[in-house]
Amino acid sequence: MSGKGKQQTEDRGKFVDLPGAVKGEVVVRFPPEASGYLHIGHAKAALLNQYYQQEFEGKLVMRFDDTNPAKENAHYEEVIKEDLVLLGIKPDLWTHSSDSFDLMISYCEQLLTASLAYVDDTDTETMRKEREARVESKNRDNSVSQNFELWEEMKKGSERGQQCCVRTKIDMKSNNGALRDPTIYRCKAESHVRTGDKYKVYPTYDFACPIVDSVEGITHALRTTEYHDRDDQYYWIIDKLGLRKPYIWEYSRLNMTHTVMSKRKLTQLVDDGLVDGWDDPRMPTVRGVLRRGLTIEGLKQFIIAQGGSRTVVLMEWDKLWAFNKKVIDPIAPRYTALEGQLVPVHVNGQGAATSEVNLHPKDAAIGQKTIHYGPVVYVEQADADLMKTDDIVTFVNWGNLKLTAVESKDGHVVSINADLDLDNKNFKKTLKVTWLADPTVDIQIVNYNPIIGKAVIEKDEEWKDFVDRDSKHLIPMKAEPAVTSIKKGDIIQLQRKSFYICDKAVNGNEPLVLIQIPDGQVKGKFDVEKPANPPAAKPQKEKKGKK
């Protein structure tokens, strides 16, 4: 096997075949609640469902779980639709759980009629304690007529009805807490975004899910392992209602270090001004990670590498960004920018000139850029401090220069003189530096650290104590004029620094803003990678003066 083929095999995780799956007949679904922005965990779920839909040439149903009117928001439905477009996901069918509200009410009444469910007016705290102690409710043996009397009060949303809920009669002695007579219907006073005030009772997710999965023709319900204890409840509902049985297929939930995923905590970060919004690059939202430079292909490869694993592990972000680097490295145009104090290099015999060089050293098809030469060029202080008189130094995209004088002051190099040595093609063991000549343009770099400063927050720890309030850093740089052609969303590399995504293009007096893309290498808090690019001497053309 070739090295490339072997690498692809190693990067690809093991996907378990879906039991009973028939090509052309598989139907899967992605059922988010429209109460917030999709995060990277949702993205894994959506992309996994799409993977199996495509693998078996089946269908993908996008279903909004709108069973809780207190949380459902029309704005977030549009947000989720936009996020799915960003992820490149195209469902075959769009549905809502509320499409089946009437059907679910009839199924609830079917269970009440069969004495497989009962209406309970036990207060929430007492019910919780009874379930923990495996004690049956005083209402468990209500007559059918008693249950329907209270059920009608629930459907009217009366004061009496609002004190009640409907519970299935499964097994209060079960070791599985999810089977201890779970609630399947409750009253909600809020107006529903789609049905308005038509209903006063709403099904729980655990009741709605198996019913809607069955009636929508879902063949395989993909769920994270955290739902495992509720699988028996799912199938109990299916069996008692005589519905077609989908197959539940489990996969591991995506957990990331230095990250909170709950909507409540993410909302707090936004509302408290600790981040700049839901698309802040420090957020684990789909919009946040894409704005930081994650490509859809990189995300897909990361998920494929996990395969169908059911082992719950805490993933490092570095692994995700390493996959992303494999995607962007072969296609990202290369540019030059310098940071901090710059040191002049006076080049003997060099006039103002330009030449065209490839934007990518390994792919000329990506295009070319114009670079500028001059009698004075500039290098970063850190590079200058490594130079000594008589050194041969390789200037990237130019060639070798011989240093004739290096002037220092207070322990730092302040000025350098050099002669052109372009016929010398020996680049081995030479110092490689990036450089700029006039004209230059000002740009702004944004570097982010994780918003959560601790890799793993324990259950007894307050997560907000670990919020890094100094996790955003702005760095001004000088860059070559070619960067003015970079557009918002473009991914580029600044040579010997890192990869970046354009957050704001040059607009009048407003500078180019680039966000650093992590590359998957473990680094110190403010370190950036500095990969050396091979130099290339190019022919020059003297600028013609005015006559």
Contacts for 102 with CB less than 8 Å, ≥ 6 apart = none
pTM (2 decimals)?
A: 0.86
Q: pLDDT by residue (tens digit) across 223-238?
A: 999 999 999 999 999 9
Looking at this protein, which amino acid is placed at residue 26? V
How far apart, in whole angstroms, are the C-alpha atoms of residue 467 and residue 450?
A: 9
Where, residue-wise, is CATH 2.40.240.10 in the chain?
Answer: 340-438
HSE-CB of 143 using CA atoms within 13 angstroms = 3
Instruction: Give 251's Cβ-side CA count (13 Å radius).
Output: 27
Alpha-carbon gap, residue 172 to 180, rounded angstroms: 4
Q: Which residue spans within 435-511 are E strands per DSSP?
A: 436-437, 441-448, 472-479, 491-494, 498-504
User: Residue type for 107, please?
Assistant: Y
* Distance separating alpha carbons of residues 172 and 135, to the nearest angstrom: 7
Q: Domain 101-204, what fold?
A: Glutamyl-tRNA Synthetase; domain 3 (3.90.800)
Q: What is the pLDDT of residue 522?
A: 53
pLDDT in tens, 326-381: 999 999 999 999 999 999 999 999 999 999 999 999 999 999 999 999 999 999 99
Nearest to 473 by CA among 530, 516, 523: 516
List, by residue range, all CATH 3.90.800.10 domains of the chain. Answer: 101-204
Question: Three-state SS for 502?
Answer: strand
Nearest to 513 by CA among 505, 521, 522: 505
Give the DSSP letter string of 191-233. Answer: PBTTTBTS-SEEE-HHHHHHHHHHHTT-SEEEEEGGGGGGHHH
Alpha carbons 303 and 218: distance in angstroms, whole number: 23
Give dist(CA 332, CA 318) in Å, integer: 19
pLDDT average per 10 residues of sequence, the chain (547 residues): 43 66 96 94 94 96 97 93 95 98 99 99 98 98 98 98 98 98 98 97 98 98 94 98 96 93 94 96 97 96 82 89 97 98 98 97 97 98 98 97 98 98 95 98 97 94 95 98 98 98 96 96 41 36 38
Cα gap 174→181, rounded to integer Å? 10
Q: By C-alpha distance, which of 224, 248, 225, 222 is closest to 236?
A: 248
- For residue 19, what pLDDT is reported? 87
Distances (CA, A) of 289 to 83, 272, 334, 439: 12, 20, 22, 34
Tokens standing for residue 47 = 């992309």
**CATH number for the segment(s) 340-438:** 2.40.240.10
CA proximity to 207, closest of 313, 114, 101: 101
d(CA 129, CA 370): 74
How many other β-carbons are positioned within 10 Å of the β-carbon of residue 194?
A: 16
201-203 and 183-187 strand pairing = antiparallel
Structure tokens at 409: 């002051």
Token pair 């990277």: residue: 40
Which are the contacts of 306, defined by CB distance < 8 A and separation ≥ 6?
13, 44, 252
What share of residues in the chain are helix, strand, coil (percent, to 5)? 30, 25, 45
Tokens 């975004």 belong to 193
Alpha-carbon dihedral angle through residues 475, 477, 483, 488, given to the nearest 10 degrees:
10
